[in-house]
A = this chain, B = another copy of it.
Amino acid sequence: MIKTTILRERKPRLKNPVMIEGLPGVGHVGKLVAEHMVEELGAKKVLEIYSPHFPPQVIVEDDGTIRLVKNEVYAYKSKGKHDLLILVGDHQSTSNEGHYELCGVFLDIAQEFNVKRIYALGGYGVGQLVETESVLGAANNIELVKELQGYGVEFRANEPGGGIVGASGLLLGLGALRGIDAACLMGVTSGYLVDPKSAQAVLKVLCKILEIEVDMQALEERASEMEKIVAKLREMEESKAPATSEEDLRYIG
């Protein structure tokens, strides 16, 4: 395989579809939200994407079978205004050039389904444990910024300072060049841990925007498990020098 390859499973007819991207990233926030939506909404798989820009790796499942790392698109036929195309996956591109190629493929798929708007989900790592829920936004046009402010999404001048890197960033940037409205919704998170609580915050905003309902219990359970881990880490932190405790946090989740 020397080219990115799409395997199609079904070709649904979708009504005013919106694309949701939740690939792995900071705190796995986007991935948690998108995979939770696929599961709770019972979305159907539309296609699989394999690429030499992913790591040369298979994942071993519980039953001893393997599957090649991939990205997938699921479709959800909604009772509301917008059907959904949900992009999830094991990995993002391992190379810079590959990010550009793969985002081109994602946008080709979006255009094939006549998608007019994309929400790229992610986390915004602030480097310390986060107490309050907040969702930071960025968008590829000013009208979309204003619309999202109405849903409580925060916009801060020049934040994130380093810009937005990877699939989420490029969907907005390359999307603009193709005339597709796209916004990034970033759950504020420490950046050290997988953060289902931050994922809940993003999902709440997204449900309001899309006028859909998604059961959050599974996400809440994972969040409260993680809370217990964090509580233990804090205890450990109090009996330690601050420099080392941060190190401890860095590899958990």
- Name A residues whose Cβ lies closer than 8 Å to a Cβ of B: 1-2, 7, 50, 52-69, 93-97, 99-101, 103-104, 137-142, 145, 155-160, 162-167, 169-170, 172-174, 176-177, 184
Contacts and interface: CB of A to CB of B under 8 A. Distances in A.
Contacts of A62: 157-158
Nearest to A164: B58
Q: Which 9 pairs between the two chains have the least Cβ-Cβ distance? A: A68-B173, A64-B155, A56-B99, A52-B100, A58-B169, A64-B145, A58-B173, A52-B97, A62-B157
A50 B97 CA distance: 12
Contacts of A58: 138, 163-164, 169-170, 172-173
A63 B100 CA distance: 25
A2 B97 CA distance: 7
Contacts of A139: 64-66
A170 B69 CA distance: 10
How many monomers of this protein are in the complex? Answer: 4
Nearest to A159: B60
B1 A103 contact: yes
Contact of A176 (B68, B101, B184): B68
A143 to B, nearest CB: 10
Contacts of A167: 56
A163 B7 contact: no
A169 B64 contact: no
Nearest to A141: B65
Given A1-B103, A56-B103, A66-B138, 18 more contacts: A2-B97, A2-B100, A2-B101, A2-B104, A7-B177, A52-B97, A53-B96, A56-B167, A57-B163, A57-B170, A58-B173, A60-B158, A62-B157, A62-B158, A66-B164, A66-B184, A68-B170, A69-B163
A147 to B, nearest CB: 11
B96 A137 contact: no
A53 to B, nearest CB: 7
